């Protein structure tokens, strides 16, 4: 099914959900069928340059699709792909070896498919961040950060899933000087909040949940950057 999205956006203003993001295509169009158990990439040897992955989620769970370069460095990603929906993901890859990961349930390492890109063109990787860490907030504790530490200069995407049962939670990070570095804002039960933090200074960082009283209930901790 190849939808004419440019026409869709101009003439059917009610179909906003399908038009909210840049869903146009460029370069070769390669289909990816994501399900709860598979990540079928129609072509695994691609020419360098622009490619559009046309992703269809045939699973029962919300999924996301990542393109990784060597060392699990994230090239790009598309999140929140609902069951039965399709989205486009444009890439501009230089020659090299990559992996595509479909992540049913939007967690873990995902189902991986190797792809190889060859020829001239495309962009070398300039990742927005070096890696990501997933952790949870519950009433009233953070879990999954006990062993966390970072290298000076690393940029890391933090993904916090609120596992409830009742309260919203935040994740505020403070520099060794105790200035605030940044935060994941109030995140509802069942939702996942995200923020990218770049650690320019070494030392001990502190984090808390900034919602009234949660720090004193135990939602706090520290990690080191070295
Ligand atoms: Cu909290």
pLDDT digits (tens, 9 = 90+) for 200-225: 999 999 999 999 999 999 999 999 99
CA of 174 to the centre of ligand 1 (A): 16
CA of 125 to the centre of ligand 1 (A): 36
pLDDT in tens, 117-162: 999 988 877 667 888 899 999 999 999 999 999 999 999 999 999 9
CA of 146 to the centre of ligand 1 (A): 17
> Strands 28-34, 49-57: parallel, antiparallel or unpaired by DSSP?
parallel
CA of 56 to the centre of ligand 1 (A): 36
Q: What is the 3-state secondary structure (H, E, C) of 49-118?
A: EEEEEEEEECCCCCEEEEEEEHHHEEEEEEEEECCCCEEEEEEEECCEEEEEEECHHHCCCCEEEEEEEE
Per the model's pLDDT, the better-predicted residue between 119 and 73 turns out to be 119
Q: What is the mean pLDDT of residues 86-104?
A: 94
CA of 170 to the centre of ligand 1 (A): 6
Output DSSP code: residue 128.
Answer: S
CA of 140 to the centre of ligand 1 (A): 6
Count Cβ atoms below 10 Å from residue 58 Cβ, excluding itself.
14
How is 143-157 classified by DSSP, letter by letter? ES-TT-EE-TT-EEE
CA of 151 to the centre of ligand 1 (A): 27
CA of 214 to the centre of ligand 1 (A): 5
């Amino acid at each position: 099914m190849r939808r004419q999205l440019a026409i869709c956006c101009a003439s059917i203003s009610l179909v906003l959900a399908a038009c909210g993001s840049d869903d146009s295509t460029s370069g070769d169009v390669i289909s990816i069928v994501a399900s709860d158990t598979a990540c079928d990439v129609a072509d695994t040897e691609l020419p360098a340059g622009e490619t559009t992955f046309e992703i269809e989620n045939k699973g029962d769970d919300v999924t996301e699709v990542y393109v990784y370069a060597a060392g699990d460095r994230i090239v790009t990603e598309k999140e929140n792909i609902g069951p039965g929906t399709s989205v486009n993901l444009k890439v501009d890859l230089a020659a090299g070896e990559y992996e595509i990961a479909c992540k049913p349930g939007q967690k873990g390492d995902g189902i991986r498919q190797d792809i190889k890109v060859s020829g001239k063109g495309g962009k070398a990787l300039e990742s927005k961040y070096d890696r990501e860490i997933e952790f949870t907030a519950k009433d009233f504790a953070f879990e999954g950060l006990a062993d966390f530490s970072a290298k000076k200069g690393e940029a890391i995407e933090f993904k916090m899933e609120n596992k409830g049962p009742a309260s919203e939670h935040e994740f505020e990070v403070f520099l060794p000087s105790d200035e605030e570095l940044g935060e994941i804002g109030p995140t509802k039960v069942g939702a996942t909040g995200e923020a990218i933090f770049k650690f320019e200074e070494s030392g001990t960082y502190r984090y808390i949940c900034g919602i009234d009283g949660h720090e004193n209930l135990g939602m706090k901790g520290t990690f080191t950057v070295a």
